[in-house]
Amino acid sequence: MRKFWGFYKNEAYSVGCSGGIVYIYNSNGKELAKFKDFPYVYSAAFKPNSNIIAVKSTEGYLGFYDLDSLSLIKKITVTRIGAQDEGFAFTPDGKYFYNIEKPTDSTQTQLGIYDGGAFEKVNTLFADEKKMVLDSIEFDNETSIAYVLGFMRDDAEGVFAYGYVGKLDVENGSVTAIHVLDKKQYDYLHWYKSWERRGFTEKSLEYSPLNKMDHIEETSIKAVFDVTKS
């Protein structure tokens, strides 16, 4: 099997993302389909307890495929601004899909929340937030708490003041219990989560700063949150 930027498996299927093509294989490794609906697709995620997979294009598209019928369910144009490579995740129950996106400016993030059935957007958070930048999001499967990684600017034009991890409060549209990270802590977690989004593939590791390290320690946003102090 070829080397992929992103590679993902569940009990029934494997999915490989090569950039311009999304390859679908059955559990025995037989190629079933090649989708060419989006450019620059390097990352994806299975919807929990299903054979539906979401793919994200750095060109500003989201796609959702039903692998049982080998069909494209939904194509969403988030923006035509490129460099859309921030994190995304399904909720543990699969009811919602969360996507960090930059629809108006390449330096300003927001969080789009989509229904996990029809994949229609149902909410947008942080659309007016210019100092807080979102990078990655992950859910605790046991508690369904969403943890966020990002960084803060001193002002709207600043680049990096400090990193942070925190809990997402959807009801109030905020990140709570923020724990501050220094640049080294933030960078490592940022690189690790980027590699994780690609399925920990060898090819993506080759182009990651993690590849230059003697040892890569497994981590998560929740793990960092639990050991850091606010």
Separation of first and last alpha carbons in the chain:
45
List the alpha helices (DSSP H) in the chain: 183-197, 202-206, 221-227
Residue segments in the chain with a per-residue pLDDT below the cut of 50: none
**According to the model, what pLDDT value does residue 1 have?**
66
Q: Which residues contact 153 (CB under 8 A, 6 or more apart)?
A: 130, 131, 132, 133, 159, 160, 161
Compute the distance between CA of residue 121 and CA of residue 124 in angstroms, rounded to an integer: 8
- In single-letter form, the type of residue at position 91 comes to T
- In single-letter form, the type of residue at position 200 comes to F
Other Cβ atoms less than 10 A from the Cβ of 109: the count is 21
**According to the model, what pLDDT value does residue 205 have?**
97
Other Cβ atoms less than 10 A from the Cβ of 169: the count is 15
**According to the model, what pLDDT value does residue 139 have?**
98
Q: Which two tokens stand for residue 47?
A: 């919807």
pLDDT tens, position by position, 60-101: 999 999 999 999 999 999 998 988 999 999 999 999 999 999
**Residues 29, 14 contacting (CB under 8 angstroms):** yes
Compute the distance between CA of residue 33 and CA of residue 23 in angstroms, rounded to an integer: 6
Q: Which two tokens stand for residue 59?
A: 């060109």
Compute the distance between CA of residue 191 and CA of residue 198 in angstroms, rounded to an integer: 11
**According to the model, what pLDDT value does residue 112 have?**
98
Compute the distance between CA of residue 186 and CA of residue 149 in angstroms, rounded to an integer: 8
**According to the model, what pLDDT value does residue 158 have?**
83
- Pick the closest to residue 200 from 61, 32, 4 (CA basis): 4
**Residues 166, 174 contacting (CB under 8 angstroms):** no
**According to the model, what pLDDT value does residue 157 have?**
78
pTM (predicted TM-score): 0.96
Compute the distance between CA of residue 52 and CA of residue 114 in angstroms, rounded to an integer: 14
Q: Which domains does the chain have, with CATH numbers?
A: 6-227 (2.130.10.10)
The SS3 assignment for 20 reads coil
